[in-house]
Structure 1
């Protein structure tokens, strides 16, 4: 039997909550796991480190993408497998991997599923699993934080995005693999490890977390009209065909901005910066996914 740990965001819930998680683990034969609950995802890394020190070789993460990102940042490179019980608002990482919002099924996947070894991105010193970005997407996430997101879920993101569409763009110089790739006005810079966003929309058409490459996108769309055209193109076809979007793949990305702008990692907002330094970390994280081991 694997030595199991649980690191849970106490403010997130699905089904019968953490009590159901305890019951289902006991039913599966895990009677006394290392157990830690945190009030906010920013406290998770320390608890994951404790679990590793305790000898855990399987860590269940209870929460959404922000909680997963904090745990990935510690687990990457450790060789310890991460299992996810998706209890957040978006759960993009779990949904991309086919992990359902069902406690019993998520436990079964964690204990008896197969293991995939996946790439992760790293931006300004922190790892991310799905996507990171600067500009409009970060403002959208900052505005939807807290009670608004808890009350309205994904609709909160749409609401705050609409409020930020007229924000003044910034000037960006972007190097890809140490060569100049983009220079000009930008309203949003995205870095992707996986492609699917809300409702199955593909931000990057052929993103793979096993190709050793980051997806890179920049848009200079401004105002409601241009953003509406960009989003419509994303929903029905290829993002890259939008006249306001430029995309590529990279092992390494550096972006210099003319002023400080907010950025985010997997839905978690960070302080404003004028520099973005990102790279891919190939095969860094082992994740339990559906399928026979």
Structure 2
């Protein structure tokens, strides 16, 4: 944690969820912009993805802007982290379904509280992960959950693709993934340790969807990524793993491998789907590494 630092830069880039065009999804960003303006700062709200990307890609942003703010859920946070230049602090106003990043870092949901934190300028440095060329802050999934993410993304590209994705919209993709489980196995090499199984998860933060503590001891500032391999394939095994997770007993099972690493290489046969922070990210093989202290997050 770093204390408040004097910062005369007044411009704030506010990045919104491009799927959140309804008034109820615009209000948090508008309320934050008003709160920042009352404090003498200069908020700039980007509603469209194209304009947001162009603004955040400006290499001068880190020198002339105070911070970027992601208004939305974990998908919006992931996009902004990948689009903004290194060195620019990030603030988050949670407005999504899960808000795992905001929960873990204590980002306030109240626009006035967040505006005060941005003005104060106190930050916490955290690690990021990199898989291929893309950064992630939460997790990587290889196997069943990645297949679900791929199916959700395909549905979003169809009719109604610019509507928000609520939890209920995961039902059909989950059922489809259960009918056709991804091919396996997945082979993991983690700092010299080898593991093999049906599914693999890699965590920077401790919680999974629905705030399930799959990697309860994971820390975002330890310079390591926590990995879990579920060895057994099949629907029955998935059900048993799910019940064990609900009891926080999954890491004690003999068919679950887990550890910590700075670098992982994951291959799957023939091709296993990959997700990063809940969004599809191609297929295996994938190289994953931790980037220590890569991001400054504004905290209350």
TM-score range for the pair, normalised by the shorter chain length: 0.7 to 0.9
Provide the TM-score with structure 1 as the length reference.
0.85
Distance 2:163 2:236 in 1: 29
C-alpha change, 1:37 and 1:14, in structure 2 (3 Å) is closer
Equivalent residue runs for 1:207-222 within 5 Å: 207-222=218-233
Cα deviation 1:114-144 (Å, max 9, x = unaligned): 3100000110121100111122111112223
Q: Do the aligned partners of 1:139 and 1:164 also contact (CA within 8 Å) in 2?
A: yes
**Alpha-carbon contact 1:189-1:219 (below 8 Å) kept:** yes
Shift in CA distance, 29/270, structure 1 to aligned 2, threshold 3 Å: same
Match of 2:36 in 1: 25
1:161 to 174, 178, 197: 174
C-alpha contact 1:221 1:230 (8 A) present in aligned 2: no
Structure 2 SS opposite 1:156: helix
Matched, 1:259 2:261: no
Distance 1:201-1:6 versus aligned 2 partners, 3 A rule: same
Moved over 4 A (4+): 147-152
Contact in 2 for aligned 1:230/1:244 (Cα 8 Å): no
Unaligned runs of 5+ in 1: none
Aligned length: 282
Distance in 2 separating the partners of 1:261 and 1:214: 20
Deviation at 1:111, TM superposition (A): 2.8
Structure 2 runs not aligned, ≥5 long: 1-7
- 1:136·1:164 contact (CA, 8 Å) conserved in 2? yes
3-state SS of the aligned residue for 1:194? Answer: coil
Offset at 1:230? 0.7
Length-normalised TM-score, structure 2: 0.83
More strand per residue: 1 or 2?
Answer: 1
Deviates more, 1:103-112 or 1:280-289: 103-112
Q: Equivalent residues in 2 for 1:172-183 (5 A)? A: 172-177=186-191, 179-183=192-196
Match of 1:111, SS state, is helix
Moved more, 190-199 or 236-245: 236-245
